[in-house]
Amino acid sequence: MIDPTILQAGLPSLLAALVFGYLLGSIPFGLILTRLAGLGDVRAIGSGNIGATNVLRTGNKKLAAATLLLDALKGAAAVLIAGRWGPELALAAGFGAFIGHLYPIWIGFKGGKGVATYLGVLLGLAWQGALVFVLVWLIVAFATRYSSLSALVAAVAVPIALFLLGLRDVALLFAIMSLIVFIKHQANISRLMNGTEGKIGAKG
Q: What is the pLDDT of residues 121-168, one digit of tens each?
A: 999 999 999 999 999 999 999 999 999 999 999 999 999 999 999 999
Which stretch of 4-18, 113-127, 190-204 has the lowest confidence by average pLDDT? 4-18
- Alpha helix (H) ranges present in the chain? 11-25, 29-36, 52-56, 61-82, 87-102, 115-125, 127-144, 147-164, 168-184, 186-194
For residue 78, the model assigns a pLDDT of 98
How far, in Å, are 17, 51, 96 from residue 123 at the CA level? 18, 18, 15
Please report how the helices 168-184 and 147-164 are oriented relative to each other, as an axis angle in degrees rounded to 10.
160
Distance in angstroms (rounded) separating the CA atoms of residues 87 and 35:
36
**Cβ proximity of 124 and 79 under 8 Å:** yes
DSSP symbols for 92-108: HHHHHHHHHHHS-GGGT
- DSSP-derived letter for residue 199 is P
At residue 1, the pLDDT reads 39
pLDDT category at 203 given cuts 50, 70, 90 is: low
Taking only the tens place, the pLDDT of each residue in 11-33 is 899 999 999 999 999 999 999 99
Res 57: pLDDT: 84
Q: For residue 27, what pLDDT is reported?
A: 97
Crossing angle of helices 186-194 and 147-164, in 10° steps, is 120
pTM of the predicted protein model: 0.91
Average pLDDT score, the chain: 92
pLDDT for 50-73, tens place per residue? 888 888 888 889 999 999 999 999
Report domain extents, the chain: 1-121, 126-204
Give the mean pLDDT of 103-122: 95
Q: What is the pLDDT of residue 2?
A: 44
> What pLDDT is stored for residue 8 in this prediction?
60
Position 56 scores a pLDDT of 85
What is residue 54's predicted lDDT score, i.e. its pLDDT? 85
- Cα–Cα distance, 92 to 170 (Å, whole number): 11
